[in-house]
Amino acid sequence: MSLKEELQQKIDNLNKPKGSLGKLESLALQIGLIQQTLSPTLQHPCHILFGGDHGIEREGVSKSPREVTWQQMINYGRGGGGVNMFCRQHGFKLRVVDVGVDYEFDPKQYPHIIDRKVARGTHNFLHEAAMSQADYERCLAIGAEQVNECKQEGCNIICFGEMGIGNTSPSSIWMHLMLDLPLEACVGAGSGLDAAGVKHKLEILQAAVVHYQQNCANGIQPQSREWTETTIRYFGGFEMVAAIGGMIRAAELGMIVLVDGFIMTACMLAASHLEPSVMDYAIFGHCGDECGHQLMLRAMGADPILHLNMRLGEGTGALCAYPIIQSAVNMLNEMDNFQHAAITKYF
């Protein structure tokens, strides 16, 4: 009997009607397979928040100004962010990593910020690639490095967050290109654009895609690894590529990867185009309120745990889903079975 069959048998023999705990049962099965055990555990949960600024922000595609990125990075050290609250509530260790914020943080004044700065923001992808191949590879390595450190501390479940004004724009383009969906279905309000703002954002992103296809992607086989890497680095943010590197490394280490909202789902989409097996380790925590997120999840075959109409980012949706994952593990480990409880098995 395979481990999958043994896990399913254990779940079915818990003293409950078969399938009556719904998604908890499918989560328990997935987690057992990830950890290759009938009795999985959740240990030292970690949350890594990568920060970086985007050149495309200069085109007015976000309601929030650029300085909010560095201001929020500082705020996390005071414990005042949404991500801080949920990490405290659910016992996650928070790591805040500057991969490309357009600000110089004094390490003495802000010791909570891990300095891995590649540059002070990406280039403007309306006109040129957001980052070089070397910077792309460096960001992947930074993400992997941070996951390695969490793993060394005993972590076996991890989630990622982001802080980067303008990062719904590259997420929308990745979704459009990698899933072959209409760009207008992928572009939303971000941090709060009105209808005119969304229209302007769409026009800018349409122009950027045309420029990319004419000048960079021409001659590259669509959906090939070369095309995927070119697409990621042409539009992506430093913080997003670091998250991709972290997701892939976490899967390699057999860790549960808890996926947040629109931007982190786009990063998981990109990661899965590079390494398809990463999806086996992904649990999607939340479907957000950003236009296109539900469409992207559906196209990926992902079934998120929560739908709370959140669009804060930072990894907050994933953190909110953690107690449900804990319940799935507890179900598998703590519920009695029919035989031991001396209850008639009625199916």
Q: How far apart are CA 81 and CA 314, in angstroms?
A: 9
The one catalytic residue among 59, 162, 229, 314: 314
Query: What single string gives the DSSP state of each residue in 284-320?
Result: E-B--SSTTHHHHHHHHT---SB-------TTHHHHH
Please confirm, yes or no, whether 59 is among the known catalytic residues.
Answer: no
Q: How far apart are CA 102 and CA 69, in angstroms?
A: 8
Three-class DSSP category at 178: helix
Sign (positive or negative) of CA dihedral 51, 55, 57, 61: negative
Is residue 119 a contact partner of residue 100, using CB atoms and an 8 Å limit? yes
Q: How far apart are CA 291 and CA 297, in angstroms?
A: 12
Q: How far apart are CA 88 and CA 149, in angstroms?
A: 20
Residue at token pair 């739908």: 307
Which residues participate in catalysis according to the annotation? 314
